[in-house]
Amino acid sequence: MISSDIMTGKAAFMASLLFLFALFTSNLRITDAQIGVCYGMMGNNLPSPREVVNLYRANNIKRMRLYDPNQAALEALRNSDIELMLGVPNVDLQSLANNADAARQWVQRNVLNYYPSVNIKYIAVGNEVNPVGENREHSPYVLWAIRNVYRAIRAGRLHDQIKVSTAISMRLVGTSYPPSKGSFRDDVRSYLDPIIRYLVSANAPLLANIYPYFAYIYSDGRISQQYALFTAPNVVVQDGSRGYQNLFDAMLDSVHAALDNTRIGYVKVVVAESGWPSDGAFAATYDNARTYLDNLIRHVNRGTPMRPGPTETYVFAMFDENQKNPELEKHFGLFYPNMQKKYPFGFGA
């Protein structure tokens, strides 16, 4: 006969195992959900929004970035449980910045009319606005558009559920090597610092578009393809106690450091775009794109040397878009327009 003490010990042991298993599977579900996919619509041969939402769900893609408040897409997203990053196009920034009532109407029409049946998580007010770049005409309006949209969200008591931010490109980073010395360009600080102060006060993340592909092709041979594709066998960049084996981590940590080095306050970073083209330019091949995407999807659960832990990341893009230019911009899709997978990827169970 087995003693009651042994039975009690076995029961406690089994209970501990069950607890650890539950914790493990819970963590798996959390990390599986770190990847989203950007849904661009610049194609004349793309499936309907409802078909696209069904495609997201069929492939366990739990997060979507939408670049403008397309009403058909928002309707299709109702009760889908897909988390949404909703974009305010750059062309709308001036009206929302100059007219608080226009911002309230925008929020009512595109957010309050859909939430919570559409699981809106972020509003990206503007995309890659550069105060010293080609779209500089939009830069005076970004901060005030953010503030007016935020106030409208706060008036609806949703500011803890829906975070208002903007998406930047790496062109605003002046120093990125080594990553710990990351800093924003001096000539964009007057534009960025007030936005960062807002992000700190609103507890909102900065959205950053990070493309190792472009850093690699414009590096004049200083960056290896292996480093850009996550395939380097060893550490490539040693930055104090931190070792970098891939360019994605180094670029992302340079943004983390740039934020920290402003000394304004802590801001989380969400990677709002990252991808690799399969055609149309140097190193834009099917094999390279497949390698980058597969490694990116698996890698983001680990975090970076500076910020361990899962990194919320949105892959660019859902489809090849035949109305984009230049040519390589047409070839970032995970799917062909006929909804067939371009690559044999997976997003977890």
From 83, 273, 321, 329, the catalytic residue: 273
Residues 243/249/253/256 CA torsion (nearest 10 deg): -150
Residues 213 and 292: beta-carbon distance below 8 Å: yes
65: left (phi over 0), alpha (psi -120 to 50) or beta: beta
Please give the Cα distance from 343 to 317 (Å, whole number): 13
Known catalytic residue at 327? no
- Angstrom distance (rounded) from CA 157 to CA 153: 6
* 229 secondary structure, DSSP code: T
Distance between CA atoms of residues 313 and 274, nearest Å: 8
Paired with 314 in beta bridges are 36
Residue from 83, 128, 321, 329 carrying the catalytic annotation? 128
Pairing of strands 237-239, 242-244: antiparallel
Q: Is 128 among the catalytic positions?
A: yes
Give the C-alpha separation, 122 to 104, whole Å: 16
Of 98, 246, 104, 237, the C-alpha closest to 180 is: 237
Two tokens, residue 118: 């559409």
Q: With beta carbons less than 8 A apart as the criterion, state whether 334 and 286 touch.
A: no
**Residue 321, Cα to own-chain centre: how many angstroms?**
19
* Residues catalogued as catalytic: 128, 273
